[in-house]
Amino acid sequence: MIKRVLLVILTLLLLLAPSHINAQSDISISNPACHSERSEESHSAQDKLSEAPFAMLRTTSGDPSLWLRVTTEQADSGIVVLNSSVEVHFPVALIFNLEAESDVDIVSARLHYQVDKMNYAQVITEGWADFAPASRIETSWVWDMRKSSLPPGAAVVYWWTIKDAIGNEVETSPSVIYFDDNRYHWRNLTEGDITLFLYEEDDSFAWELMMACQQGLARLTRDIGTYPERPIQIYVYASAGDLQGAMIFPQEWTGGVAFTEFGIIAIGISPDKVDWGKAALAHELTHLVVHQATFSPYGRLPTWLDEGLAMYSQGELDPSFRAQLDKAISEDRLISVRSLCSPFSSQPEKAYLSYAESYTLVEYLLDNYGGNKMLNLLTLFKQGNTYDEALTKVYGFDVDGLDALWRKTLKNPVVQAGAVWLHPALIAVLSALATSLALAGALALEEWTWHRSCSKLS
Ligand SMILES: [Zn+2]
């Protein structure tokens, strides 16, 4: 009980800290209006696990462009929609069913749908139901997730346009369907922008994970000034195996993945690995928030910055990473910053070193130049500046200049103690080392999942 009270107090402190810092920030990527909404939400945050129906707790983007007002012209068309429903077959398909009748033959039924996610433009996709013209039809359109998949919990708005043989047309009102993983009985825990969905019964486990998320988010806001662009939903499966069962291509998954544009993270955490889970959650949460803040069609972040920010938000660098860094410094075989702009090596030792260097690069920039400049740097990447251009505009040095300055700070490395934490992708590497399995691609997985999450759904 005392532990619960302390967690609540700590949560409130963490939620108050970011709003104070935001008030001082002169650069903001997020919409200011969203900040005030967030602060109101934080005061009314749920403080207990809830089992309310999903429909009651959904946190969709609220983007008015998504929730289209479609005029229903059913009254005079002579076409009557008898039934419109959706079957969720997670994770493989959504099946949109339609029954309709008219005085004359119905000749076409088009499904229109729109996915609730960040997008560069409003995208409405169409699917044509297959049936023989008849005065009464019963048909369906199948969204095969093997072709373009959705993460658990994704929201889809849909409506039908139905035509008959003499040109009458009816358009149904839009409805929302959630692509829920209904193989489990999910409970939820909400604090501010974050909702955790779990089916594990242990409340203290849920709270520990939530606190790790709030701490990661608070640190990100305090140090850099980035905020989630939209509410974040985190689906915590009770094991990596359960998570893989949620995927169509499970071999392509590690322990978790962030779907940036959806604001959704899916991760497998068993209660006996809560320390790993807390770190992995905060890490993925950082990727998600940073990717949302820099969401644009113009380019991408250098890998050292992306991974460095995610590791930095975890706190102190783990000793195992620090040891790799110190060894490389003493042997004069540091990887250049320019090389670290590209995806990291799949060789374990180089990968360790890449993550360690990335952490210290971000630490160097934040410690010496502050969070406002980091936010400025992210903004310039979002606007499409090259790595050299963005660094030069903000700091006055390019990638090679950063390399030279940063190396000077590494002359006398100090090994620091810290909580044991391993990067999600490195878990795969370590297990592979232990079992002599092939390592090919293991470290590229997280990179791959980012590409995947950025791919077009329609
Ligand atoms: Zn990462």
pLDDT per residue over 277-312, tens digit each?
999 998 999 999 999 999 988 878 999 999 999 999
Closest CA to 286 of 189, 368, 371, 221: 221
CA of 281 to the centre of ligand 1 (A): 10
CA of 309 to the centre of ligand 1 (A): 9
CA of 455 to the centre of ligand 1 (A): 18
Is the predicted pLDDT of residue 376 greater than 80, yes or no?
Answer: yes
CA of 286 to the centre of ligand 1 (A): 9
Closest CA to 195 of 91, 312, 52, 309: 52
Asked whether residue 174 falls in the same domain as residue 189, the answer is no
Q: How far is CA 154 from CA 120, 150, 234, 450, in A?
A: 18, 6, 11, 17
Asked whether residue 307 falls in the same domain as residue 280, the answer is no
Q: Do residues 307 and 341 touch, judged by C-beta distance below 8 A?
A: no
- Return the minimum-mean-pLDDT range out of 46-50, 158-162, 177-181, 347-351: 46-50
At residue 90, the pLDDT reads: 94
Q: How many CA atoms lie within 13 A of 275 on its CB side?
A: 6
pLDDT band at 253 (very low <50, low <70, confident <90, very high): very low
pLDDT band at 258 (very low <50, low <70, confident <90, very high): confident
For residue 111, what is the domain's CATH number? 2.60.40.10
Q: Which of 127, 146, 179 is the last residue of a domain?
A: 179
Which whole number is the average pLDDT over 69-98? 82
At residue 250, the pLDDT reads: 64
Residue tagged 């890998």 (tokens): 303
Amino acid at 422: L
Q: Per-residue pLDDT tens for 106-164?
A: 999 999 999 999 888 888 999 999 999 999 999 999 999 988 889 999 999 999 999 99
CA of 29 to the centre of ligand 1 (A): 22
Q: Is residue 439 part of a domain?
A: no
Q: Is residue 64 part of a domain?
A: no
Q: Which of 164, 179, 194 is the last residue of a domain?
A: 179
CA of 339 to the centre of ligand 1 (A): 17
Q: Is residue 341 part of a domain?
A: yes
CA of 426 to the centre of ligand 1 (A): 10
Q: CA-CA-CA-CA torsion for 67, 69, 74, 80, nearest 10 degrees?
A: 0
CA of 326 to the centre of ligand 1 (A): 21
Q: Which of 249, 273, 293 is the last residue of a domain?
A: 293
Q: Per-residue pLDDT tens for 213-241?
A: 999 898 899 999 998 988 999 999 999 88
CA of 429 to the centre of ligand 1 (A): 14
Which whole number is the average pLDDT over 66-95? 76
CA of 287 to the centre of ligand 1 (A): 7
Asked whether residue 324 falls in the same domain as residue 402, the answer is yes
Is the predicted pLDDT of residue 54 greater than 80, yes or no?
Answer: no
Would you state the structure tokens that stand for residue 418, as one six-digit string?
């810290």
CA of 305 to the centre of ligand 1 (A): 10
pLDDT band at 251 (very low <50, low <70, confident <90, very high): low
CA of 423 to the centre of ligand 1 (A): 7
Which whole number is the average pLDDT over 42-56? 34
Is the predicted pLDDT of residue 13 greater than 80, yes or no?
Answer: no
Whole-prediction pTM:
0.72
Asked whether residue 331 falls in the same domain as residue 267, the answer is no
- Return the minimum-mean-pLDDT range out of 73-87, 100-114, 359-373, 429-443: 429-443
CA of 324 to the centre of ligand 1 (A): 18
CA of 451 to the centre of ligand 1 (A): 13
Which whole number is the average pLDDT over 325-344? 94
Alpha-carbon distance of 33 to 226, in angstroms, equals: 14
Q: Is residue 458 part of a domain?
A: no
CA of 443 to the centre of ligand 1 (A): 10
At residue 423, the pLDDT reads: 55
Alpha-carbon distance of 210 to 195, in angstroms, equals: 8
For residue 41, what is the domain's CATH number? 3.40.30.160
* Strand-pair category, 232-237 with 194-198: parallel
Asked whether residue 267 falls in the same domain as residue 306, the answer is no
At residue 424, the pLDDT reads: 53
Q: Is residue 444 part of a domain?
A: no
Which whole number is the average pLDDT over 40-64? 35
Asked whether residue 347 falls in the same domain as residue 381, the answer is yes
Q: CA-CA-CA-CA torsion for 458, 444, 232, 155, nearest 10 degrees?
A: 20
Neighbouring residues of 21: CB distance < 8 A, sequence distance ≥ 6: 221, 222, 225
CA of 245 to the centre of ligand 1 (A): 22
422 Cα distance to chain centroid: 19
Asked whether residue 358 falls in the same domain as residue 403, the answer is yes
Asked whether residue 121 falls in the same domain as residue 161, the answer is yes
At residue 92, the pLDDT reads: 94
Please provide residue 109's backbone torsions phi and psi, each rounded to the nearest 5 degrees: -140, 115
Asked whether residue 261 falls in the same domain as residue 190, the answer is yes
Identify which has the larger pLDDT, 338 or 419. Answer: 338
Asked whether residue 259 falls in the same domain as residue 286, the answer is yes
- Which residue range forms the structural domain that includes residue 238? 1-45+184-293
Instruction: Indicate the average pLDDT of the chain.
Output: 77
CA of 110 to the centre of ligand 1 (A): 41
Neighbouring residues of 306: CB distance < 8 A, sequence distance ≥ 6: 287, 290, 291
CA of 36 to the centre of ligand 1 (A): 30
Q: Is residue 115 part of a domain?
A: yes
CA of 143 to the centre of ligand 1 (A): 31
CA of 231 to the centre of ligand 1 (A): 20
* pLDDT above 90 coverage of the chain, percent: 55
Asked whether residue 95 falls in the same domain as residue 174, the answer is yes
CA of 257 to the centre of ligand 1 (A): 10
Which whole number is the average pLDDT over 62-72? 40
Longest dimension (CA), the chain: 85
Q: Is residue 263 part of a domain?
A: yes
Q: Do residues 293 and 286 touch, judged by C-beta distance below 8 A?
A: no
Asked whether residue 314 falls in the same domain as residue 354, the answer is yes
CA of 361 to the centre of ligand 1 (A): 15
At residue 412, the pLDDT reads: 56
Is the predicted pLDDT of residue 431 greater than 50, yes or no?
Answer: no
Into how many domains does the chain fold? 3
Q: What are the start-end ranges of the E strands in 192-297?
A: 194-198, 232-237, 256-259, 264-268
CA of 310 to the centre of ligand 1 (A): 6
Q: In this structure, which long-range contacts are made by residues 349-352, counting pairs with CB atoms below 8 Å and at least 24 apart in sequence?
A: 349/324, 351/425, 351/426, 351/429, 351/443, 352/320, 352/321, 352/324, 352/426
CA of 388 to the centre of ligand 1 (A): 22
pLDDT band at 358 (very low <50, low <70, confident <90, very high): very high
At residue 119, the pLDDT reads: 86
- Return the minimum-mean-pLDDT range out of 26-30, 53-57, 67-71, 178-182: 26-30
Residue tagged 């107090």 (tokens): 9
CA of 344 to the centre of ligand 1 (A): 11
CA of 232 to the centre of ligand 1 (A): 17
Q: Is residue 357 part of a domain?
A: yes
